[in-house]
Amino acid sequence: MRIAFLMHNGYGIGGTIRTTFNLAQALAERHDIEIVSVLRHRELPTFDLDPRVRLRHLVDLRTESDDPRHQLPAKVFPAAESRYRQYSELTDERVAGYLRTADADVIVGTRPGLNVHLALQGTYRAVRVGQEHLTLDTHPKALRRGLRRVYPRLDALTTVTEADAECYRRGMRLPGVRIEALPNSVPEPAVAPADGHGRLVVAAGRLAKVKRYDLLIRAFGKVAAERPDWGLRIYGGGEEEPRLRRLVDELGLYNNVFLMGRASPIEPEWTKGSIAAVTSSFEGFGMTIVEAMRCGLPVVSTACPLGPPEIIKDGVDGRLVPPGDPDAVASALLELIGDDGLRRRMGSAAQVNSQRFDPAPVAERCERLFTELVAARKAGHGPRRPMRGTLLTGAYTAIDAAAGVAAHAGRAVRRRGTVRGKEAGA
């Protein structure tokens, strides 16, 4: 099969980029794979990519950010989508041109705004698959209304958890659209697994409020009071860093809690620890959980929606505790810290159980889905044909209204700078 992934910016940093690259490389064992990046802001991608996978771009921000068409707001990409301000009449034009001429058997959109493009503009000869890397409930109501209107034109929609797939089945009512859970994949680490001897708890991820590192630091204050020989290392950067540093100082934990900054690759840092910790109030999936488990660490995690309960087997390869409860986090950490045998058994189980997230089995599930969708299309089954002509213009109007474009209509033509740092992500 010829399979194409349409993504926001394959040259940036982010979980969607990483997991798309992983899946594309696994599928390239047997298929012709292309990644089409709408935007490009640097010479080479941040993540390594198998040479068998072609990477191309549609808009090069290094040379085209001043194009007059890129100063005008997008009409297709929905305004309620979080990346809307990075899209324009130029991206509308380039994405439409690509979809009109693509010769792929399957085209996969990797975020809601691009799924809208795919649903409205993808040709009937290609199977159209929308991917959801966040969750339905995290999208604004205006965006959900717009997606509900156009997603019936997709052949399939995949989510990263079964819980979110069920949310789409119940909440979106997409007749004729196949909705499947397809988890993110994490390759086998290139380092030896943790041996369970290091007296470190490790956490990693964006320093954002939703990750609740403040709760983890407070919980570790209780751990340090009983086991001052243990430390906590938190890897990552973000807007919460100054507040977290102040909290460490206020609690007098400067000898036990360390904000380590960003680390790439992260695998060697996981293996220096013996336990991983996740205290998020919400996780769409939980890539860091799988990364830590693949490195042989049991994970203490909040049982927050939606990912952790589908990844961790409580009491087998980690512990699940109630969200927002520092005492429960501290108790679970102390249980593993105080029992060397339990900690090592759970670490070994984590390493084995996380193999189900290896790119190979995930790619097999993906391949099976795509094969069935292509067969159904050849048999004459599938969604309605994409809109054309005046019908398409009418669809834009409907989507724009649902997504709140009216709020933008009175704005003057706006400047769009080159994508920087975090804006270049998934």
- Cβ atoms within 10 Å, residue 149: 17
Is the separation of the CB atoms in 312 and 289 below 8 Å?
yes
pTM of the model: 0.85
Q: With the C-alpha atoms ordered 385, 389, 392, 398, is the resulting torsion angle positive or negative?
A: negative
Q: Coil, strand, or helix at residue 37?
A: strand
pLDDT of 426 above 80: no
Beta bridge partners of 130: 109, 157
pLDDT bin (cut points 50, 70, 90) of residue 13 is confident
pLDDT of 208 above 60: yes
Is the separation of the CB atoms in 300 and 276 below 8 Å?
yes
Tokens 């979110």 correspond to what residue? 164
State the pairing for strand pair 106-109/231-235.
unpaired
pLDDT tens for 162-198 read 999 999 999 998 989 999 999 999 999 999 999 999 9
Return the pLDDT at 379.
Answer: 87
pLDDT of 219 above 80: yes
Cα–Cα dist 360/401, whole Å: 42
Q: Where are the beta strands (DSSP E) in 160-214?
A: 178-181, 200-204
Determine the residue type at 408: H
Give which of 77, 115, 16, 98 is closest to 383, Cα–Cα: 115
pLDDT bin (cut points 50, 70, 90) of residue 258 is very high
Is the separation of the CB atoms in 69 and 94 below 8 Å?
no
Cα–Cα dist 416/426, whole Å: 18
Tokens 């990797």 correspond to what residue? 110
Query: Domains (ranges, CATH) in the chain?
Result: 2-185+360-424 (3.40.50.2000), 200-357 (3.40.50.2000)
Determine the residue type at 96: A
Tokens of 130: 């929308």
State the pairing for strand pair 318-321/54-60.
unpaired
Determine the residue type at 252: G
Cα–Cα dist 333/330, whole Å: 5
Is the separation of the CB atoms in 404 and 410 below 8 Å?
no
pLDDT of 354 above 60: yes
pLDDT bin (cut points 50, 70, 90) of residue 406 is very low
Return the pLDDT at 382.
Answer: 67
Contacts of 380 (CB under 8 A, 6+ apart): none
- The gap from C-alpha 404 to its chain's centroid, in whole angstroms, comes to 25
Q: Kindly compute the dihedral angle of the four CA atoms of residues 197, 198, 200, 203, in this order, to the nearest 10 degrees.
A: -90
Return the pLDDT at 15.
Answer: 84
- Cβ atoms within 10 Å, residue 87: 27
pLDDT bin (cut points 50, 70, 90) of residue 425 is low
If phi over 0 gives left and psi between -120 and 50 gives alpha, with beta otherwise, what is residue 261?
left
Percentage of the residues of the chain whose pLDDT score is greater than 90: 83
Return the pLDDT at 124.
Answer: 87
pLDDT tens for 34-89 read 999 999 999 999 889 999 999 999 999 999 999 999 999 999 999 999 999 999 99
Return the pLDDT at 376.
Answer: 93
